[in-house]
Amino acid sequence: MICQYYVDMRYIGQEHTVKVSVPTVPLKEEDKEVIKQRFHEAHEQAYTFRLANAAVEIVNYHLVANGGLTRPELRKISPQAGDGEDAKISVRPVCFNEIGWLDTPVYNRYGLGSGAKFSGPVVIEEKTSSTVVYPGQNVTVDEYGNLIVTEEGE
pLDDT at 84 (0 to 100): 82
Residues 84-97 pLDDT 10s: 889 999 999 999 99
Residues 38-92 pLDDT 10s: 999 999 999 999 999 999 999 999 999 999 889 999 999 999 887 888 999 999 9
Max Cα-Cα span within the chain: 77
> pTM for this one?
0.57
Under DSSP, is residue 50 helix (H, G, I), strand (E, B) or coil?
A: coil
pLDDT at 24 over 80: no
Helix/strand/coil (H/E/C) assignment for every residue in 110-139:
HHCCECCEEECCEEEECCCCEEEECCCEEE
Q: To the nearest whole number, what is the mean pLDDT of the chain?
A: 93
Please say whether the dihedral angle defined by the alpha carbons of residues 82, 120, 104 and 134, taken in this order, is positive or negative.
positive
pLDDT at 9 over 90: yes
C-alpha angle 4-8-12 in degrees, rounded to nearest 5: 155
